Amino acid sequence: MRSVEVSPGIHWVGAVDWNLRDFHGYETPRGTTYNAYVVNGETQTALVDTVKLPFVPELLERMRTVIDPADIDVIVVNHVEPDHNSGLPEVMEACPNARVVASRSGVQGVAEYHNGLKVDAVGADDVIDLGGKTLHFMPMPMVHWPDSMFTFCPEVCTLMPNDAFGQHVASSQRFADEIGLDFAFEQLGIYFANILMPVSKPVSKAIDKIVEAGWECKTIAPAHGLLWHEQDVPRLLETYKRWCDGHTVPRAVVAYGTMWGSTDTLGRAVADGIAAEGVEVFAYDLADSLISDVTYQLLESRALVLGSSTLHHGMLYRVAGYLQWLAGLEPKGKLGAVFGSFGWGGGACKQMAGRLGEIGFEMPFDEFTVKYRPTNEDIEAAVEWGRAIGRAVKER
C-alpha cells in the first residue's frame, strides 16, 4: 500500500473505507477515508491522527513506506471520536518511543475512552520542534467535539484540522481537484449539513482564528475524504463561512412519506406551485431518498415543506425519523409548512407542525390536508398553496 506526499515532508498514510454505508445515521454511499499524516523533520517525526481500530494494519503498512513506526517520536490526537482514535493503543504499541499529545479536553477524552490511558496536553502556546519543521496547535472546542484541535505545520503551510473541511468519500485520489471540484464541494456540503450544521458558530470562529493567527494554508488536509490544494483554499474558506453564516437562496425542499400515493400526489402539486413562482425546489419521498442528500439541499434553502399520510393518528415513521435527525442539526431561520392526506382520522399534520415548531422552524402557513384521494380541485388547491410558499420564500 502506498503513501502519498501531500506537502514537502508530509505524507498521507491513512486508510480507505470503501464499504462504509452508515455513519451513525448519516448515509455514506461513497464510503470514507480515515486520514493520518506522517510529518518528517530533520531530528524527529510525528504522526498526526490515527484511524479506526480495524484499519490500524493498513495505517501501519502505509507508514512503513515512509518510516519504521518504532521511529515515530510524536503522535498527535486531534480528536478522540472512535473513527480517529479507537486504534490509538494499537498504534502506540507499534510506536513505543512516541510521546502522545492531545488538547486538554482530549487528554480527558483519551483517558475515558481508553480506560485511563495517559497522554500529554498541548495548547495554543505550545510548539513541537521536529527540526526544520514545527507543529503548532489550536484547540477548537465544538468543531465538532469539545476536544477537537487543529495542527499546523507553518514551514510547508499545511493545516491538519481533523473533521473540519472533510467529506465522506472513498477514493484512490487524494486531492479534491483530482476527482473533480464540483463533486468535492457537493460532498463537502453534505458533510457540513449532516455533521457540522449545529456547530456553525464554533466553526465560523475557527476560521476567524486561523486568519487572526496568520496561518497561511497552502494545503488543507482533513481527517476524512479529499484534501485541498492552495488554489482551492479561498473558495473552501468562503464556502464554509457562507454556510456558517446561514446564507440561503430562493429554494425550498418538499419531503414526505406516503402510504397509497395520495400524499405523493399532493407533494408533487405543491412542488409545482413553488416552482411556478420562480423558486428552485427539490422534492423527495423519504422512503426512497437519502436523508443526508435531503439535508444537504435544505442547508441553503429557505423552507422545508413536510408531508405525511396519517397512520395510527400520527405521521409515518420515516417522517418522524427525519424530524428527529433535524432536531439534532438545529437548522436556523427557515420557514416550515406541513401537508398530507388521511383516511378515517387525521393527526399527522398536527404532529409534524408541532415538531417543526419545537425545532425552530417558523410556521406561518395553515396545514394543507386532504381526505382520501385528492380530487382535481384538491390538486389545484395544493398548487396554489405551494405558490403561496414560493412567494414567501422569494420575499424572505
Catalytic residue numbers read 24, 79, 81, 83, 144, 163, 191, 224
**Closest residue by Cα to residue 147 from 183, 198, 92, 110:** 110
Using alpha carbons, select from 247, 246, 237, 167 the residue that is nearest to residue 206: 237
Taking each helix axis from N to C terminus, what angle separates 376-395 and 262-276, rounded to the nearest 10 degrees? 40
Closest CA to 191 of 20, 26, 22, 21: 26
Helix (H) or strand (E) holding 328: helix 317-329
Evaluate whether 72 touches 100 at the Cβ level (below 8 Å).
no
| Residue 170 CB neighbours (<10 A) | 17
Strands 22-23 and 32-34: unpaired
Helix (H), strand (E) at residue 303: strand 303-308
CB 49 within 8 A of CB 227: no
Question: Which grid cell sits at 320?
Answer: 418522524
